[in-house]
Amino acid sequence: MKKHVATGLALVAMGASVLACWALVPLDKLVEGNAVIVVGTVESIDVAPAPKEGAKQSTFDVAQIRVAKVLKNTLADVKIKVGDCLPLSMPSVNRRMRMSTDIQYKKGKSGVWLLERKDGTYWATYPGDYQAPEKEAEIAALIEKQAK
């Protein structure tokens, strides 16, 4: 996973419960740290079946983001174009053990996606990895500035 995810999480023990919160990562750092940034919409979600008793707990649903615009792609081995569907992995709604840091997206969610690629799929694991559509111009300007 992304370095900022591993270091951006703070856990606080309070009695029998654990609270989690995210450390703020500035937008320019998120833009810099993600290889793929697209504008798109979650077109569908393949929900993983609930794990059977004793089976692996880490199950993932896979959303399909339909690409409307490619703002950044620094992956040398992957071509992304308008109209493509990118598989976005996220913790399954069916997993038995859930964490407060699980981020899930719904069908129809549109905006700017700051993605990393791992094991043939894309990930948006930090709250800032999804940005509202209104942020597109600001993100495009950051990409241009960082490319210089």
Number of domains observed in the structure of the chain: 1
**Does residue 11 form part of some domain?**
no
Q: What pLDDT does residue 15 have?
A: 43
Q: Name the residue among 113, 140, 104, 102 with its Cα closest to residue 41.
A: 113
Q: What is the DSSP letter of 33?
A: H
**Does residue 9 form part of some domain?**
no
Q: CATH no. for residue 50?
A: 2.40.50.120
**Does residue 17 form part of some domain?**
no
Q: What pLDDT does residue 75 have?
A: 96
pLDDT band at 13 (very low <50, low <70, confident <90, very high): very low
Q: What pLDDT does residue 14 have?
A: 39
pTM exceeds 0.75 for this model: yes
Q: Name the residue among 93, 99, 110 with its Cα closest to residue 42.
A: 110
Structure tokens at 3: 């370095």
pLDDT digits (tens, 9 = 90+) for 82-136: 999 999 999 877 766 666 677 888 999 999 999 999 988 999 989 999 999 999 9
Q: What pLDDT does residue 69 have?
A: 98
**Does residue 12 form part of some domain?**
no
Residue 22 is which amino acid?
W
Tell me the β-bridge partners of 46.
Answer: 62
Rounded to a whole number of angstroms, the CA Rg of the chain reads: 16
